[in-house]
Amino acid sequence: MDQLDHYVGLLKQEFDQGKRSLVPKINRQYEYAIAKNKKKGDMKEVRNILKVIRKLPGVDFHSPLYKRLVYVRYADD
């Protein structure tokens, strides 16, 4: 098992890319809309936008610039 852990550790070092996951562009557009509506004082629209944002993913899972290999070893004794 120690050899497998060592091998997967080497694979992980080669596979992992990027430091942080990128925020999807659509989220930044909604953040801009929230700031704009807060400035206007339209809190009802801000709440509606926040409801939409909560349904969106916080990170871009398909970004080629960021990827991670996760290794979970399971042993049933």
Q: How many residues does the chain have?
A: 77
pLDDT for the residue 60: 78
pLDDT for the residue 46: 94
pLDDT tens by residue, the chain, 77 residues: 788 889 999 999 999 888 877 777 888 899 999 999 999 999 999 999 999 999 988 787 788 888 888 888 887 65
Quickly tell me which residue has 């709440």 as its tokens: 47
pLDDT for the residue 32: 93
Cα separation, 27 vs 50, in Å, equals 10
Q: Is the pTM of this model over 0.85?
A: no
pLDDT for the residue 56: 85
For residue 68, give the DSSP letter. Answer: -
